[in-house]
Amino acid sequence: MVWEPVLPTDWSSPPTAALRRISDPRVTQYWDKRRMISHELGEHDRRSIVWDHVAVYPPGASWKDLPPKAVYEGGPVVYVAEQARAAVNQALGQAVPSPQR
């Protein structure tokens, strides 16, 4: 997961409470102060910042000169969480669990 400054209140890395929202031990979270990932994905001005976006890459994918092809992309995150979860499970070869409510 990549956190980046977008809003005026994003002047430092996310607090511990925000980082705890994702508790899966397989997840690594990064603070991208200069929005380098956003620039790699197409940002060229304030209107084109890539944020609140999910990209799922297959196991073993490696960024070289360009980002690899994602097996799933979508956003805003709040609207695509289930599709992203299914894409991650499919990429890992796991059965898609039903959402818990």
In tens, the pLDDT along 24-43 reads 888 899 999 999 999 999 99
Q: What is the mean pLDDT of residues 53-65?
A: 91
Instruction: Tell me the pTM.
Output: 0.75
* Strand duo 54-56 + 30-31: pairing: unpaired
* Cα 65 to Cα 68: distance, rounded to the nearest angstrom: 9
Instruction: Tell me the average pLDDT across 70-74.
Output: 95
Tokens 């097996």 found at? 71
Band (pLDDT 50/70/90 cuts) for residue 23 is confident
* CA-to-CA dists, residue 59 to 9, 64, 85, 91, angstroms: 34, 15, 15, 7
Cis, peptide link before residue 76, omega less than 30° from 0: yes
